[in-house]
Each structure stands twice: as C-alpha cells, then as structure tokens.
Structure 1
Amino acid sequence: MNKYIAKLREISGKPERLILGLMSGTSLDGLDISLCKVSGTGRSIDIEVIHFTTIEYDTELREKLFAIQSNDKTDTRLLTYLHSELGDLYGGWILNSLDDWGVNTGDVDLIASHGQTVYHAPAETGGSLNATFQIVDGDHIAQSTGIITISDFRQKHTAVGGEGAPLAGIFDEMIFQSESENRMLLNLGGIANFTWLPSKNNGGKIITGDTGPANTLINEAMKKYFERPYDEGGKVAAKGTVHSELVRYVLLEPYFRKPFPKTTGQEDFRLTYIEELMEGHQIKLTPEDLVTSLTAITSQSISRAADEVVGDQDFECYVSGGGVHNKTLMDDLQKRLSQAEFKSFDELGIPADAKEAAMMAFFANELVAGEGFPIPEITDEKIHLGKISLPF
C-alpha cells in the first residue's frame, strides 16, 4: 500500500487533526494561512484557529494574476505557468510560516488549498453547465511541503449541478447557526457574499448568495488612479462625493434583479464596464468621487439584498473579509442595515480575517473524516468536496 494512503487512513481516524487552510480571493491581495486544530465532523465539529497570517502578493505577481483573471481571452502560457509556480510559491510560504510558528511539518496532517479563481461561469452566462476554474496545483504544494494536500473544492459542487459558489453557506450552517439568534454572515472579499441564518427556533429558510462587488471595483480604481492595491481604511472614499446617478445605473443591471440564490464574479463587474457606463451617460468624476461611488455601489447592493432576503426581521450581522477594514464602507452598511446589530466576527470563535481559510480546513476535514453533506435544492445525497494530492 502507498505509505501516504496508509497515512491518510490513519489521519481519518484521529480524534483531532491539524489542518492548514489556505485562501486567496478574487481581490488578489495575498494568501491567508490558517493553522487549525479540528476535532469531530459535521455539526459536531470544533475548529480552533491557533495561528494565522496573510502573505501579501507583490506587485508583479498581482499584475500577472490580474492579467489572467476573469478575461474571455488570456495568455495560456502564463496561465499554465502560474498554476505550477504558485504551487511551489505557496509551499515555500507554508514552510516559512510553520517555522515562524515553531510547528514541525510532520505535525500537520493536511493542507487545504482553495486556489486562485481564474474564471467563474454559471450556466446562465452562456454555457450548458455550471463551471468554475481555480489554479494553484495541489501536487506542487504537496511535493514542496511533504504534506498531503486537498484542493479543487469547487469542482464537485459544479459536478452535481451547483454553481461552485458560494461555498460559505455549507460551512456557515454547520458551524454558526444559532438556536435563538437570527444571523447574517457577510463576507467582503472581491465579491460580496452572505449567508442568512435564521435561528433554529425561527424555522426560516437558510439562503446564501453573492450580492455583487465588494472590493473588486474599488481595488481596480485604486490601482489605476492611485497606484495602491486597495483603499486602506476607506480613506479615499471618505474624501469624495457619491455620484447617485452612476450608482443607480449600476444597480439597474440584470444581476441585481435576479432572485437568490445566485452567484457572480469579476466577469460581470470590471472597472472597464463602469467606465463604459460613465462614457455612455457622459459622467465625469474625479478619482476620489469614483472610489466613493464604487464604495456606495457595494454598500447599497448589499443592503438591497438584505431587504430582499431578510425583510424587516432583526438580526446580528457578522462581517469577515478584507472589506471589514474599510471604515467608510462599514459605516455606510451600518446606517443602511438599521435592523442589524453589527458584532465582531471574533465573537463566533474564528477571527474575521481567518474565516475563509478556516473554511477550507473544514472541507478538507469533511473529505477525509466526515460523512459529507447535502446541497439544498441541488442534491439530497451527501457529497464531499476536494481532490487529494500525495507527496512523492
């Protein structure tokens, strides 16, 4: 028997596993690494983030990824090269992080890598089936670290008829649903997604989906006009004035009229699209006013989604993702979601910045040790997400 198959069998039977979750979102800011202590499975699971770090992408890598992300035509040589290069790069970052934390690689049971999304294509965008594509080769990560690696979590979701996103609804329901408290878990990455978790006593329907852009348009504008990767603290947005007509035109787009659940990506929301809209309506803005207006598009699309799904119900709102550090965005959201009480995501037991990387650890744990889970409205059969890469 392959020694790593035997090791995988041993890992699956352990009462507690040490899993390293990796997440890099569409905002292209960097790699989140969460070292998680995981016990149990399914609704009985317990996840503790014991170490966390974010390694920022440098300008050169960010530009390479931007060149291949969400484009109908791309450089296949660069795409292929980055698939392998990022695997080796991640491996080095992982080893350095473990060394900084004083953790031996032999003590880590699994690596769970989300990968870098290159294209997201629900069937309604013109294909005959749902498809999504992430790069960062799991074999390269496993080979460079010597640790069994799980990757490609979104593919089984599409294979059984789902759109491959957002996966957060499965994780959120398993981990964070409350007996008595209505909750909205909002993630502000490149694209904003949420999970509506009515309390178990409420008996309402759990709904998850993408509301539209979060940081992606803001980041593009910051890169183009300010030569910065993002609007730190929302300071640029705080200086400008919202152009209400531009916001209105964007929110008239068909995606915002579709019912939940639904998913989207940067394929639908690029700065070029905003610029074409501005040209068509003869709108001229200063860079500050553009960033302010893009921030308003994010907050207003989220509040509209909340109105549609939640109505006038009171709820607790827990926010994760890079957008949580944008004070201008968060202040506007709190004004618009007046029925919500905003709370620190850390109160749920997982740091806000570490949430999505910890989610990858959850899915890897379920693949190796759990019974799987159904995907509501798609299949009642219990499925597992992820593919296994063995070292050597």
Structure 2
Amino acid sequence: MNLFIGLMSGTSVDSIDAVLVDFSDTGTQLKAVHTHPWPASLRETLLTLSQETREQSTLHDIACLDIQTGELFAESALALLEKSTTLPNQIRAIGSPGQTLYHHPVGTPPYTWQIGDPNVIAQRTGITTVADFRRRDMAAGGQGAPLAPALHNALLRSSQEDRMILNLGGIANITLLPADLNSPVIGFDTGPANALLDAHIYQHQRLPLDEQGAWAATGQIQPALLNSLLSDPYFARPAPKTTGRDYFNLNWLTRYTASFAYQPEDIQATLAQLTVTSIAQAIFPYNPQRLLVCGGGVHNPLLMKGLSQQLPGCTVESTSTQGIDPDWVEAVTFAWLAKQRLEQQLGNLPSVTGARQAVVLGSVYI
C-alpha cells in the first residue's frame, strides 16, 4: 500500500475532512474518512477574524490560532487512524493545506496566509507532514489557487466529452477538462457557493448551514438585490482569479442590503440564486457536455436544480457517477499533492493559476 492522509477545512469552517487514501499502482482508493468538528468558540473566532480588516487582527491572536488549529488538524488525523485501525508508521505523509485567513493574490505584493502549524501536526502524529502548498505557486506568479484542478485532470478527464468539474464549497470553483487532451485545463473561482449562505443563516438562526437549502426555499428571490450583487466587479474579472471568505462575507453583503428592509429568508433565497447564476454565467462560454459536482453544495437541491435549469444543454450530476465521493474530493487533493511533493513531481497547473511555470508545491515537516 501507498498510504497518505489528506486534510481539508474550507472557507465555511464547518468541519475538518480527513481521508486515508491508497495511491497504489492499481489506482486511487479511498480507504477511510473522518469528519472532525470545530469547537464552536474556535470556529467563531476564525470566522470573525477572516471578516475583519487586517489592521484589526493582532499577531498574538493569529499566532495562538495557528497553534490551536494545528492541534485540531493533528486530532483529526489521529482520529482517522484510530477509526481505520491504521498505525502512524504505515502512512507516508499527511497533506495539510491549512485554514486560509487571508488570500490576496492581486495585491502589492500578493500574498496568502494559512494557519494550522504543520510542526504541531508532525510532532503530535509522528507522521511526515506536507503543508504550505499555495505560496510557491504565488512565488511563480500564480494565484495560489485553485489547486484541485490538477487532481481533476489526473482522475476525471475524458477524451469522449468536454467536462466541467464544479466544487461547491464555501467558494465555488470550476475546472474545464477538454476532450482534446492537447488543450489546456482551465479553472478558477467563480465566487461564493456556501460561504454567504452559511454565514447568513448563522447570523439569524445560529445554525452552521442551511440544510438542503430549506430556509432559502421559504424566501422569495429579490431581483433588484440579485442584480446588485452580480454587479460586483469580481464576477466580471477575467481568469485566472481566486477569492475567499475575506472578500465574500457578511460585511460585503451588508454593503448591498443596508439601505433596504429585506426579510432574512428573502436574502437567503437571493444568495442561493446568486450562487447558481454566477456559476452558470462562468460556465456558459465553455459549453461543457457534462458538469460533475462535488463539495457540500451537492446536497443542496436548490443549487443543483438551479444549475440544471440554467445549463439546459449540460448533464449536471455528482462526481459519484464517476466513482468519486463528492464530499471528499478536496481532502483527496491534498493527500495527492503530498504524494507529488515527496516524489518531487509538479503540483500546479499554470493554465489554471496563472503561474509562469509548473512547480513542486509544499514544504515538508519530518
């Protein structure tokens, strides 16, 4: 066996996904999975910090969170090992992208900042840990994200049809996989997926997510608000582009809603439509025959039905139809990137991130 652990906590900070993956010659096999909860107080601190301006965040706060997050990532890896009755010395490495606080790829200078100290993970687990995947791509002139398209290209490309992979996490990102294997892979963040939906329902009901879009389904879409939200310059910006919760958050939403007396459920319905419409507008020019969806939003009927309606010539379905569980694709990505790093193999796709060249991603902590 060729075992790796992949960890992933997205922009919604709803949980830490941990996967045990076997990359043997027979193919990629998902051996075990574990969902590790964030303590409510730590989650709220992270969400608050990612919405504040950088001037409001103290180095002391961030340094403490870095250690606490690293401890929690280590806990999730150890819980996965216990669940799967696997010994640490059977694992080649853990791939941990960390928890993104700030992502500013178009600043001067551009930067990205993830916390979750990999020294702590390596020390607590006794397993080699690969982390800090994004900054090398940025050093090469890239956006540092999205990184999952490299895995999509390796596992989901078909010479029979043009495919698009859609990840509905906190932020939505797409990967175009042309049937022509000589054509480049294209990928970018389209905008918010679940991040605003989760933040808004938490603000009003103290629930971590809108289960199956049930609350949004009780509201009425507000066309004027939707058009106003879609006028944000990010949606019209050409690729390559990436974004995060430090941009699309409740402060961003308030700028558009403060002058109006919308009902909270109507705002939720409009945010769901924002996700669908912004994704559909991004996909439409590429005209794929099949859209394979992964991430937590795949379980939201409002989003999935909306995408099918707005992309009538495209088959919209879960990655499960291709044998890949939609809930674990991103965590598998970082197990795969850890493997790439140990084997000194390239990890980014310049056609996606905008980097000047393909590079080996990640730092190794033994």
Q: TM-score range by the shorter chain?
A: over 0.9
Partner letter of residue 218 of structure 1? L
> Residue in 2 aligned with 1:387?
363
* Deviation (angstroms), 1:97: 2.2
Partner letter of residue 127 of structure 2? I
> Matched residue of 2:191: which SS?
strand
For structure 2, list consecutive stretches of 5 or more residues without a partner in the other structure: none
> Residue in 2 aligned with 1:60?
41
Cα distance, 1:244–1:143 mapped onto 2, change above 3 Å: same
Instruction: Give the whole-Å Cα distance in 1 for the aligned partners of 2:145 and 2:284.
Output: 22
* Deviation (angstroms), 1:109: 1.4
Instruction: Give the whole-Å Cα distance in 2 for the aligned partners of 1:134 and 1:79.
Output: 10
> Residue in 2 aligned with 1:253?
232
> Residue in 1 aligned with 2:102?
119
Larger Rg: 1
Aligned counterpart in structure 2 of residue 170 of structure 1, from 135, 150, 166: 150
Instruction: Give the whole-Å Cα distance in 2 for the aligned partners of 1:264 and 1:371.
Output: 26
> Residue in 2 aligned with 1:13?
none
> Residue in 2 aligned with 1:81?
64
Pair 1:106-2:89 in alignment = yes
Aligned counterpart in structure 2 of residue 235 of structure 1, from 197, 204, 214: 214
Partner letter of residue 145 of structure 1? T
Residues 133-166 of structure 1, C-alpha deviation per residue, up to 9 Å, x if partnerless?
1100111001001001001111111111101111
* Deviation (angstroms), 1:268: 2.3
> Matched residue of 2:2: which SS?
strand
Residues 77-114 of structure 1, C-alpha deviation per residue, up to 9 Å, x if partnerless?
22111111221222223222211221112211111111
Partner letter of residue 86 of structure 2? V
Aligned counterpart in structure 2 of residue 48 of structure 1, from 29, 37, 40: 29
Instruction: Give the whole-Å Cα distance in 2 for the aligned partners of 1:209 and 1:383.
Output: 18
C-alpha contact 1:153 1:387 (8 A) present in aligned 2? yes
C-alpha contact 1:70 1:120 (8 A) present in aligned 2? no
- TM-score normalised according to structure 2 size: 0.94
* Deviation (angstroms), 1:372: 1.9
> Matched residue of 2:224: which SS?
helix
* Deviation (angstroms), 1:230: 0.7
Which runs of structure 2 are paired with 1:147-226 in the superposition (5 Å)?
Answer: 147-200=127-180, 204-226=183-205
* Deviation (angstroms), 1:314: 4.5
C-alpha contact 1:138 1:389 (8 A) present in aligned 2? yes
Cα distance, 1:104–1:332 mapped onto 2, change above 3 Å: same
Instruction: Give the whole-Å Cα distance in 2 for the aligned partners of 1:259 and 1:269.
Output: 18
C-alpha contact 1:116 1:136 (8 A) present in aligned 2? yes
> Residue in 1 aligned with 2:291?
317
Aligned counterpart in structure 2 of residue 285 of structure 1, from 254, 257, 262: 262
* Deviation (angstroms), 1:49: 0.9
Equivalences, count: 362
Moved over 3 A (4+): 377-382
> Residue in 2 aligned with 1:354?
328
> Matched residue of 1:383: which SS?
coil
C-alpha contact 2:225 2:257 (8 A) present in aligned 1? yes
* Deviation (angstroms), 1:374: 6.2
Q: Alignment identity in percent?
A: 35
For structure 1, list consecutive stretches of 5 or more residues without a partner in the other structure: 1-15
Instruction: Give the whole-Å Cα distance in 2 for the aligned partners of 1:52 and 1:156.
Output: 28
Aligned counterpart in structure 2 of residue 273 of structure 1, from 245, 252, 276: 252
* Deviation (angstroms), 1:58: 2.8
Cα distance, 1:205–1:95 mapped onto 2, change above 3 Å: closer
Instruction: Give the whole-Å Cα distance in 2 for the aligned partners of 1:271 and 1:341.
Output: 33
Residues 155-209 of structure 1, C-alpha deviation per residue, up to 9 Å, x if partnerless?
11111110111112222222221111211100011110000111126x5542100
C-alpha contact 1:219 1:230 (8 A) present in aligned 2? yes
